[in-house]
Chain A
Amino acid sequence: MAFSMPEKTKRQIGMIVTIIGVALMAYAVISGLINGQIGTKEAKITPDIAAFIVGWFAVLIGPALWLGETPAAIRKRAGRS
């Protein structure tokens, strides 16, 4: 039996994930500007590279959950309401 999340909850989670993702990426980008690089050549994983990667993934999936269904512009092109 497939689990289906209520649409409203999905959108709220999507919004939160997007905001967190944007914030994490912004932190990494600003940190890069200050330090001249993101991450380090050493084996340890620094907060900025972790934020950059996690933020990247969050930004990839967050808006998809938040914005939800296929946009009207695309439905219109396909002749669907």
Chain B
Amino acid sequence: MKVIAIFVVVIAIYVLAYLYYGKRILSEKIVRASADRETPAIAKFDGVDYVPANRYVLFGHHFASIAGAGPIVGPAIAMAYGWFLPLAWVLFGNVFIGAVHDYLSMMASVRYGGISIVSISENLMGRTARYLFLIYVLFTLILVYAAFGSIAARLFASNPSVATISILFMPIALLTGILMYRLGLSLKAVTVVAAALVVIAYIYAYNVGTFFGPFDAKLSPAEGGWVAYQRWVIILGIYAILAASLPVWYLLQPRDYINAYLLWFSLGLAVVSVALLGLRDLQAPAYTSFAPKIIAGVETPFWPAIPLIIACGSLSGFHSLVASGTTSKQLANELDALMVGYGGMLTEGALSSFAVIVPISLAWQAEELVQIGVLEQGETLLDKSAVQRYVIGYGYMVGSVFSNLGVSFEASYKFFSIMAALVLSMYILTTLDTSTRLARFAWQELFDWMRARNETAYSIITNKWVASFIVVLAGSFLAYPVLNFGTPEQPKWQAAYNVVWPAFAGANQMLAAIALMTSSLWVYMILKVRGALSALIMVPSVALWFTVTAALVWWLWKVFPVYLEKSPLQAYGAGFMVFFTLVLSLLLMVLFVVALMRARAVAK
């Protein structure tokens, strides 16, 4: 298969989806978005969380927040199926489930005054649903924090240059915010200054790495091989508490605005590279097997397990929390939601397609990578970890374009593979503090019943520093351990995310199903949309719920026993989370059906 064929098909699907499905059906016919309706950012302005933002700035924040490591790591893992099935799932899930889910969560929140999708569930399914949903969300966000905190710490420990640029990036973001909001510089001038500073910081970091102690993944923690990793877990925890408690205009908005440029730049480079290398053939097989051994060495069937592997690239429940948590409170105009919500998710799918699936397929067992010692003879990218597949694939693809222009392949490969790792790091850091902020919101909402009974206790428990600390402490506790996935004789030490990832992905996808069911109820009950238009939302939400339920049952049946054998403590932890997820989702499904039947009875 030629690369150009993939390029044309993906672009055509996204353009049609945005203009026809997103704009004409969702925005104009179902939600009937209007520029004349005042948004919560204006109506409830408080200078901390409710702050109207420029739509491009907000797109940057939203895209950077939703595009964590998921759209990169998930498709990279799924390449074990070959390139066709992961690409098909990304495209289908993106257009018909993920982008719809993000857009409707955002708009439902806007119409309910900026409250989260969880609180909306109370209006539609009752008070019990709200508290079940809140516990579920809090639980999922702790798993999100643990998975991403672990990946970030692993990335910083093994890529010192990425640690340097990631730290230098924050003061640049703060300065950007101050120039923009305090000194009143125009957006263009601020963008130029920020871009120049980022380039300088990148050149500096390319040459100066940050080392936080020894790191050798082949050694055990007792032998000191993981000191840097565990130190970064703690440092990133402190960062998340600070960043999640600061006003959004101060760090979050400007940081994500610059992030968006970085992400756009890397995505743009990927798209241009895909176009320029269009006549090349994909080296990876289109299809390997319906059930290759992926999770814990167990045969992993594409259906139902794919939602446990590809999360954010296709659809993600975490997005509903961002869309109805931070983004809806910053939306200055209802019409902006199409670009920010629906467009943001399509962009994330494009990232999975062009920056992960195509590059890995191109670099599969490239001779140039063997020559510079990245791959051994006979080795394929499938023999590398998921993060390495992405970093190597991206570096190979963009590096190949520059080597065609006369630059040494080795130098350009190194430059762009570091850039790929940097982009991944930026995604992850944003997700860390956004998930902490959202978990804080969920924590505060969970205790709202206490306010009327004991104001002092309520103010202590829901204090933003206390709430952030509790969430980060729980997440860091899960992220801290290093586990042996090999044997005592031939150990294979890996960071905790290898255990946490499937639990996070499962909880996250189930959250997407529940959030989409809530949105479909909103469309049916409040917007009074009926017939085929209503079914467009409801059918995918129920189908997704059944798929993820089947996937989680499969996980408990097939994967849990393997974990139990290798690491009982972690296995019980992950097993409890998956089981808890299943029980709560069953209860929420019952409440959904009851609410829907009542609504239908009223409609008749």
Residues of A within 8 A of B (CB): 1-2, 22, 25, 29, 32-33, 36-43, 45, 49, 52-53, 56-57, 59-61, 63-64, 67, 69-71, 73-75, 77-80
Contact = CB atoms under 8 A, between A and B. Distances in A.
A38 B51 contact: no
B181 A74 contact: yes
Interface string B440-457: 000000000000000010
A24 to B, nearest CB: 11
B175 to A, nearest CB: 9
Interface in B113-169: 160, 164, 167-168
B246 A60 contact: yes
Contact of A74 (B47, B214, B239, B459): B47
Contact of A59 (B170, B209, B212): B170
A78 B164 contact: no
For the residues of A in contact with B, the DSSP-based class is: helix
A71 B208 contact: no
B249 A74 contact: yes
A38 B214 contact: no
Given A22-B171, A56-B167, A79-B45, 5 more contacts: A2-B459, A43-B214, A63-B178, A70-B48, A74-B51
A67 to B, nearest CB: 6
Interface string B161-192: 00010011011001000101110100000000
B460 to A, nearest CB: 9
Contact of A42 (B45, B160, B167, B214): B214
A22 B208 CA distance: 18
A12 to B, nearest CB: 18
B209 A78 contact: no
Contacts of B164: 32, 38
5 contacts: A2-B459, A37-B211, A41-B213, A69-B47, A78-B41
Given A39-B211, A70-B247, A59 B51 contact: no
Contacts of A22: 171
A15 B42 CA distance: 31
A37 B209 contact: yes
Contact of A57 (B181, B239, B249): B239
A7 to B, nearest CB: 15
A73 B213 CA distance: 44
A1 B250 CA distance: 27
Contacts of A73: 180-182, 184
Interface of B: 41-42, 45, 47-48, 50-52, 160, 164, 167-168, 170-171, 174, 178, 180-182, 184, 204, 207-215, 224, 227, 235, 238-239, 242-243, 246-247, 249-251, 332, 456, 459
A61 B465 CA distance: 13
A32 B160 CA distance: 12
Contact of B204 (A29, A41, A42, A71): A29
A71 B45 contact: no
Contacts of B456: 1
Contacts of B168: 29
A49 B160 CA distance: 12
Nearest to A77: B52
A38 B201 CA distance: 14
Contacts of B235: 53
Given A60-B243, A74-B181, A37 B171 contact: no
Contact of A32 (B50, B52, B208): B208
A43 B170 contact: no
Contacts of B178: 63, 67
Contacts of B332: 77
Contacts of A79: 42, 45
B181 A43 contact: no
Contacts of A71: 181-182, 249
B171 A49 contact: no
B214 A67 contact: no
B576 to A, nearest CB: 34
A41 B181 contact: no
Contacts of A74: 47, 51-52, 181, 249
Contacts of A43: 213-214, 224, 227
Contacts of A57: 238-239, 242
A26 to B, nearest CB: 10
A74 B58 CA distance: 14
B458 to A, nearest CB: 12
Nearest to B205: A32
A52 B214 contact: no
Nearest to A53: B235
Nearest to B253: A74
A23 to B, nearest CB: 13
Contacts of B209: 37-38
A78 B171 contact: no
B250 A49 contact: no
Contact of A39 (B42, B180, B212): B212
A59 B48 contact: no
A78 B208 contact: no
A57 B235 CA distance: 10
B599 to A, nearest CB: 35
Contact of B171 (A38, A42, A59): A59
Contacts of B210: 32, 37-39, 49, 52
